[in-house]
Chain A
């Protein structure tokens, strides 16, 4: 990344792996459980959070010197909520189809603790440009995990990816289903998302021992 200084680039690359908001900070778990039953939903949620975090971090960062510390959490909440509502309204007016797909995620974005966490921990203490990079980085880190979980759950649970049948037809018994393979319906349930996230955490920490806390 020639455009960014080394320090700035770290803001984006760190949350992708060694400081991932889901697997290391264990934030934003609720939405990771709720919407990763298929890959498309995971992708859409990732993009939506990317937008809200990028813009929200900049807004909070610009206001950081005038926000009274006593009510800063409320102010952060208002910023997220209004951003999300405005985006929702604009989509409903100009991209109706997309807003139908997003419907259920809108509420989930407001309650996503990664967003509040980054406002509180980063945007309140840093300038707008760095805050923007931090927002994008953390949203990408969140999206990566969502997509990985989404791929596993959709592939093993429904035999499809993005809605396309990859493994064959379970009813007509084509593809791998012809040799006795069956879809695992349990993969579609929220607990499996937690187990997959757990497995990712396991793999990640066994590869990088520095991440293990005493």
Chain B
């Protein structure tokens, strides 16, 4: 090809053409795949909530196995009986979606369900001093009611988040943690089952009913995690900052749900 590729005008034209071609190609890919990606993320959220509730296919594996994407919609509507939105200041319920309403809303209410509330956006609202909406999901585990709350915080490289299932006394009944970009083999192990399982039975409140949280502790000296009253689980080797991030998001985000649980216990007593 006899083109003088050293000319400035050619360079500029080439750059412009490249930007236009690559830009439109990327824009086209992104917008045409967006609905599919959104749908995947929505199903993943349902799978995560169900996982924290204890609805999964872990049996017989040492790994985390979600309910399949085919079944997830059905299982979500049978197992999650209510989706609540709380007000962050006093824990009052400001909206409630029952199972039936959720099933009926499937066609037109897309995007409005409490489980699709973006915790990141709500945290940003709280920072600006506005009131924050707290989503909470009610389900049943072994015949008892458990409440599942989403939490979100910072790991070493990027965001970490999770779902924690609590009973009415704020004892942990299941967790699910995930991360955007923690180091493979180190911080990313928060997504391993042995780490999540450690939280089962841990308490968020002290005997006196004061909120204390659960620390991911290095000097815990309890590798099998038999002590459930120590407000600590064993840390992961080489993942101190990710572990601290888990402790921090449990302390900060779950504390906001305290008023709701207090109201709950006043009602039942």
Contact = CB atoms under 8 A, between A and B. Distances in A.
A5 to B, nearest CB: 27
Contact of A82 (B25, B186, B188): B25
Contacts of B247: none
Contacts, number: 89
Interface in A51-81: 65-71, 74-75, 78
Given A67-B14, A185-B238, A104 B182 contact: yes
Contacts of A188: 185-186, 237-238
Contact of B184 (A69, A78, A104, A158): A104
Interface in A109-154: 153-154
A37 B5 contact: no
A179 interface: no
Interface in B181-199: 181-186, 188
B18 A66 contact: no
Interface string A23-40: 000000000001111100
Contacts of A71: 11, 14-15
A36 B186 CA distance: 10
A104 B1 contact: no
Interface residues of B, number: 34
B184 A37 contact: yes
B181 A38 contact: no
Interface stretch (A10-18, A86-94, A206-214): A86-94
Nearest to B180: A103
A66 B181 contact: no
Interface in B1-32: 1, 3, 5-6, 10-11, 14-15, 18, 22, 25-26, 29-30
Interface string A153-164: 110001000010
A41 B184 contact: yes
Nearest to A185: B237
Per DSSP, chain A at the interface is helix
Nearest to A105: B184
A213 B62 CA distance: 49
B40 interface: yes
Chain A's interface size range is 35 or more
Interface string B117-146: 000000000000000000000000000000
Contacts of A69: 5-6
B116 interface: no
Given A69-B6, A185-B237, A92 B184 contact: no
A189 interface: yes
Interface of A: 34-38, 41, 65-71, 74-75, 78, 82, 85-86, 89-90, 92-94, 96, 103-104, 107, 153-154, 158, 163, 171, 185, 188-189
Given A70-B6, A70-B11, A78-B22, 18 more contacts: A34-B184, A35-B184, A37-B185, A65-B1, A67-B5, A68-B10, A75-B18, A85-B26, A86-B25, A89-B33, A89-B37, A90-B29, A90-B33, A94-B36, A103-B181, A104-B181, A163-B62, A185-B238
14 contacts: A68-B6, A70-B6, A82-B26, A85-B26, A89-B33, A89-B37, A90-B29, A92-B37, A96-B40, A103-B181, A154-B185, A163-B63, A185-B237, A189-B238
